[in-house]
């Protein structure tokens, strides 16, 4: 069993989430290759399943991650796929169109799940323009990543990959 984890991350906090997922899968005896979306080759040949995630900027996935999904839509439709988005720090996405693209994609390719994880905003990492954008949306600075939730999600993935027939159906409330 070989799982590819593809991640879109600008400041590194989403990459750490992907690494935490990979670590759990490896502990469960699954081979994992983690790649940055910008560097990912278009081919999914040789992989049995995929976990793809991205930081959310202004309601959308990062370009490289979205491009990876678009380039691999057909292959992803034919393999077990889990998606995650990382961003919200306060009350979560505020605009009704937030993540609309990725929700549509998840439904189209029958992704097994799409989780939204809280992210991290470190003022020192941000450009002047990014700080201005953060002020406008009143997003709080800090590290809100929920490592327990992230690891237990990864455990669910590992269980489902080890025993696809035995696992519980994915909760509909978790798919967004």
Binding status of residue 119 toward ligand FMN by CB under 6 A: yes
In the complex, the smallest distance separating the C-beta of residue 51 from ligand FMN, rounded to whole angstroms, is 15
The angle, 0 to 180 degrees and rounded to 10, between the axes of the packed helices 147-162 and 13-27 is: 40
Distance from C-alpha of 144 to C-alpha of 72, rounded to nearest angstrom: 31
What's the Cα-to-Cα distance from 63 to each of 38, 76, 125, rounded to whole Å? 8, 18, 19
Nearer to ligand FMN, 48 or 130 (CB): 130
Name, in order, each residue with C-beta under 8 angstroms of 125's C-beta and a sequence gap of 6 or more: 11, 12
Q: Interface with ligand FMN by CB under 6 A: which range of 9-17, 26-34, 42-50, 153-161?
A: 9-17
Q: Interface with ligand FMN by CB under 6 A: which range of 32-40, 74-82, 114-122, 148-156?
A: 114-122
Please choose, from the candidates 15, 128, 134, 10, the residue with its C-alpha nearest in 3D space to the C-alpha of residue 62.
10
Residue 98 in contact with residue 59, Cβ under 8 Å? yes
Nearer to ligand FMN, 91 or 163 (CB): 91
In the complex, the smallest distance separating the C-beta of residue 138 from ligand FMN, rounded to whole angstroms, is 12
Residue nearest to ligand FMN (CB): 119
Name the residues that contact ligand FMN, by CB under 6 A: 9-15, 55-59, 86-88, 93, 119-121, 126, 130, 133-134
């Amino acid at each position: 069993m070989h799982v590819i984890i593809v991640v879109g991350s600008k400041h590194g906090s989403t990459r750490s989430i992907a690494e935490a997922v990979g670590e759990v899968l490896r502990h469960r005896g699954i081979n994992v290759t983690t790649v940055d979306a910008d560097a990912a080759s278009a081919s999914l040949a040789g992989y049995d399943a995929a976990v793809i995630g991205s930081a959310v900027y202004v309601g959308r996935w990062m370009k490289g991650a979205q491009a990876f999904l678009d380039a691999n839509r057909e292959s992803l439709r034919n393999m077990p796929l889990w998606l995650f988005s990382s961003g919200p720090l306060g009350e979560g996405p505020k605009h009704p169109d937030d993540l609309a693209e990725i929700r549509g994609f998840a439904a189209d390719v029958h992704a097994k799940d799409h989780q939204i994880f809280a992210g991290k905003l470190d003022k020192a990492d941000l450009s002047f323009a990014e700080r201005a954008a953060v002020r406008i949306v009143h997003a709080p600075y800090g590290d809100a990543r929920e490592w327990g939730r992230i690891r237990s999600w990864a455990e669910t993935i590992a269980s489902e990959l080890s025993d696809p027939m035995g696992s519980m159906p994915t909760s509909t409330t978790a798919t967004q």
